[in-house]
Amino acid sequence: MSEYGDAKNASKSGAYERDMNYITDRIEADPGAQWPVEAGRYRLVAARACPWAHRTVIVRRLLGLEDVISLGLAAPTHDVRSWNFDLDPGGKDPVLGIERLQEAYFARVPDYPKGITVPAIVDVPSGAVVTNDFPRITLDFSSQWTEFQREGAPVLYPEEHRAEIDEINGWVFTEVNNGVYRCGFAADQEHYEKAYDRLWTALDRLEERLTTRRYLVGDTITEADIRLYTTLVRFDPVYHGHFKCNRHKITEMPALWGYLRDLYQTPGFGDTTDFVQIKQHYYIVHTDVNPTKVVPSGPDLDGLLTPHSREALGGRPFGDGTPPGPVPAGEEVPEGHRPA
């Protein structure tokens, strides 16, 4: 998503409210669909900084869709016109030929009036955004792109666990994924404290759940773990201080800290996590929260590589599948941007 100006998205009451209006078209396996599944036709535009976009990068990698859906990466900082491609030569996306993601939105809807958000899937031939419906994108990678998934791709949204996954995803989104934003962008003390209490009630609930089980649902990594991971991995570097979510650090919660290390050390998770870009985005873009734009040097993140001992709880990360191979050339997180 784009958090530029999110501090202004508080209601008159002082509570933060996320705009959840998206382009909800889907890319489907039906050849007669408006947007049919087709190798090479679509480009996923993401940003390493954004937790909502990070989900799509993880799922694309776990399922082995890298050669089927290309990846464009926006820069971590932007202005009111939103995401740009300043990281690419000449400041243009090399496939779409655009300087800012808003150009792809305008190609779909002239003067698009809503947020210019990542992730977005763009139809390369027309240069127009197909969808930015981030919760649906990853589910469709699992269900609609099966023909092109790699051999050994894990089942991230198994039929037998979908009801439980949906239930957990629902409250994790409202209480944790979005809960940190309700704390960070609350416009007054009362609404901040209410948001803070809700967030920590949910984190305590997760701590209890993950004390006796390796993953959130079943005995393998699922969509639910991916959605929680992208918030947890940003918690100590950003949300604890920047968003005032500071009752504890994740490193101080034994089950969540072990769970986070377990996932970080799993191919597809840590190797897609860029802490430099994450911190740059939040501390530089959120000028209402951090007007100096000073980016903190800490915290020390080397602990993510320490043993977690979560194997004792059982479970198999990829079920009957296998880990993904090396990160494709050109998609690696830059050296020095993560513990490795």
The pair of three-digit structure tokens given for residue 58, joined into one six-digit string: 């993880």
The single-letter code of the amino acid at 106 is: F
Go through 270-309 and write b for each residue having 16 or more CB atoms within 10 A of its CB, e for each that does not.
bbbbbbbbbbbbbbbbbeebbeeeeeeeeeebeebeeebe
For the question of residue 181 being annotated catalytic, the response is: yes
The active-site residue out of 16, 22, 42, 50 is 50
**Residue 85: C-alpha distances to residues 15, 89, 298 (Å):** 32, 9, 27
The single-letter code of the amino acid at 226 is: I
The active-site residue out of 42, 105, 157, 181 is 181
**Taking Cα atoms as reference points, which of 237, 329, 270 lies closest to residue 57?**
270
Determine the number of helices (DSSP H) and then strands (DSSP E) in the chain.
10, 4
Under 8 Å between Cβ of 294 and 279: no
Active-site annotation, residues:
50, 181
